[in-house]
């Protein structure tokens, strides 16, 4: 059943009531209060009204329904890679990327007591970020919908040999004991989030700023298809900072690519590169242009 554990419900209800009173200020996110997405939302827009949703799809739907003006969605992590299914969710969402947010990630091992623990609940990405930590202690990683929700679940069940891996705020909110801090395997652990909204930013409003543009494209099923596509950016001097492939459907005949480039439409080089790309590929869809939050490289 898609519902938050009991210890989180009062906080969720309070936040939902506040967001319903002023939905234009609300930013939806997937996860219980205290999750990384919650903290990224407040770091990005301290004046916003955080709207907790059970999952990413629910956070996206909140924007479509008008319950929130925007959604904060994690897209990839420096240790665990891209967030599962996000490349399918973004194009299918019908929303546009209007901002990005980078946030250092730190997690704690927490429980109702001091341990030892047999298992630890958390989001699969948090488990992946702490795989060595868990293996060294013989703790089994158990997948849950989000980190803070996992902490609320441990508080609800009251099992002394079960723990959660979650942000320190989750322990505070749900009355858990922090047993070990900074359990992530890499201490430069960082997640990139994107902010989604119904309407895209007009690229002309970004003139003179450092910008990024995100898009997806499907190559033709011909020799050197990707080489030709990437050549559009090389010959026009446009820097591509991210390129990831994924399959759509079961034909395995062609590949979809998710890409980030520096710059935005309105820049002559970007315009030329995208025009050439549209000729070379089967499909091209812009997901948004927005201010660059961090210099690449």
Q: Which of 24-28, 80-84, 95-99, 163-167 is predicted with the least confidence, judged by mean pLDDT?
A: 80-84
Q: Are 208 and 281 found together in one domain?
A: yes
Q: Three-state DSSP class for 21?
A: helix
Which CATH number do you get for residue 70?
A: 3.40.190.10
User: 221-268 pLDDT, tens per residue?
Assistant: 899 999 999 999 999 999 999 999 988 776 677 689 999 999 999 999
- Which of 193, 215, 217, 257 does the annotation list as catalytic? 193
Whether 235 is a known active-site residue: answer: no
Instruction: Name the token pair of 14.
Output: 């309070």
* Boundary (domain end) residue, out of 145, 172, 197: 197
Q: For residue 244, what are the domain limits? A: 203-291
* pLDDT number for residue 81: 78
Asked if the structure places residue 82 within a domain, the reply is yes
Place of tokens 């924007």: 63
* pLDDT number for residue 254: 67
* Boundary (domain end) residue, out of 197, 232, 254: 197
Which CATH number do you get for residue 223?
A: 3.30.70.260
Query: Beta strands 140-143 and 119-122: pairing type?
Result: parallel
Q: What is the total count of domains within the chain?
A: 3
* pLDDT number for residue 242: 95
Q: Are 114 and 91 found together in one domain?
A: no
What average pLDDT does the segment 70-98 reach? 88
pLDDT at 280 > cutoff 80: yes
What average pLDDT does the segment 167-171 reach? 97
Q: Are 14 and 96 found together in one domain?
A: yes
Asked if the structure places residue 1 within a domain, the reply is no
Residues 192 and 97 sit within 8 Å (Cβ to Cβ): no
Global confidence as pTM: 0.94
Q: Are 116 and 99 found together in one domain?
A: no
* pLDDT number for residue 296: 87
Q: Are 244 and 268 found together in one domain?
A: yes
User: 183-202 pLDDT, tens per residue?
Assistant: 999 989 999 999 999 999 99
Whether 44 is a known active-site residue: answer: no
Dihedral angle computed from the Cα positions of residues 105, 111, 117 and 123, in that order, rounded to the nearest 10 degrees: -40
Q: Are 210 and 226 found together in one domain?
A: yes
Q: Three-state DSSP class for 262?
A: strand
User: 104-115 pLDDT, tens per residue?
Assistant: 999 999 999 999
How big is the CA angle at 285 (ends 236 and 211), to the nearest 5 degrees? 55
Asked if the structure places residue 185 within a domain, the reply is no
* pLDDT number for residue 250: 67
- Which of 29, 41, 133, 191 does the annotation list as catalytic? 191
CA distance 294 to 297: 9
In the chain, which ranges are E strands? 26-30, 49-53, 70-77, 81-82, 96-104, 108-111, 119-122, 140-143, 162-166, 177-180, 190-197, 211-219, 240-246, 256-262, 281-291
Place of tokens 């992946």: 128
Asked if the structure places residue 207 within a domain, the reply is yes
Q: Are 27 and 59 found together in one domain?
A: yes
Asked if the structure places residue 40 within a domain, the reply is yes
CA distance 85 to 130: 21
- pLDDT exceeding 70 applies to what percent of the chain? 97
Q: Are 94 and 112 found together in one domain?
A: no
Report the mean per-residue pLDDT for the chain: 94
pLDDT at 42 > cutoff 70: yes
Q: Are 80 and 15 found together in one domain?
A: yes
Asked if the structure places residue 244 within a domain, the reply is yes
Asked if the structure places residue 168 within a domain, the reply is yes
Q: Are 145 and 128 found together in one domain?
A: yes
Asked if the structure places residue 123 within a domain, the reply is yes
């Amino acid at each position: 059943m898609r519902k938050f554990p009991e210890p989180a419900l009062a906080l969720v209800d309070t936040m939902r009531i506040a967001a319903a009173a002023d939905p234009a200020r609300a930013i939806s996110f997937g996860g219980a209060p205290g999750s990384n997405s919650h903290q990224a939302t407040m770091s990005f827009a301290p004046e916003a009204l955080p709207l907790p949703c059970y999952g990413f799809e629910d956070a996206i739907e909140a924007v479509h329904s008008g319950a929130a003006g925007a959604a904060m969605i994690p897209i990839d992590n420096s240790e665990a890679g891209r967030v599962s299914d996000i490349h399918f969710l973004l194009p299918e969402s019908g929303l546009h990327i209007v901002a990005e947010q980078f946030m250092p990630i730190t997690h704690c091992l927490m429980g109702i007591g001091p341990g030892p623990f047999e298992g630890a609940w958390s989001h699969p990405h948090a488990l992946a970020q702490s795989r060595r930590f868990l293996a060294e202690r013989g703790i089994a990683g158990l997948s849950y919908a989000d980190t803070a929700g996992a902490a609320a679940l441990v508080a609800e069940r009251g099992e002394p040999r079960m723990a959660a891996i979650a942000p320190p705020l989750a322990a505070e909110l749900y009355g858990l004991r922090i047993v070990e801090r900074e359990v992530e395997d890499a201490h430069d652990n960082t997640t990139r989030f994107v902010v989604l909204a119904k309407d895209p930013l007009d690229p002309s409003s970004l003139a003179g700023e450092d910008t990024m543009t995100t898009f997806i494209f499907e190559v033709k099923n011909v020799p050197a298809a990707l080489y030709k596509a990437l050549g559009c950016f090389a010959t026009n001097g446009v820097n591509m900072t991210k390129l990831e492939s994924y399959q759509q459907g079961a034909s395995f005949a062609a590949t979809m690519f998710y890409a980030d480039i520096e710059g935005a439409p309105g820049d002559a080089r970007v315009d030329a590169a995208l025009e050439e790309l549209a000729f070379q590929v089967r499909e091209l869809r812009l997901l948004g242009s927005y201010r660059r939050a961090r210099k690449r490289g």
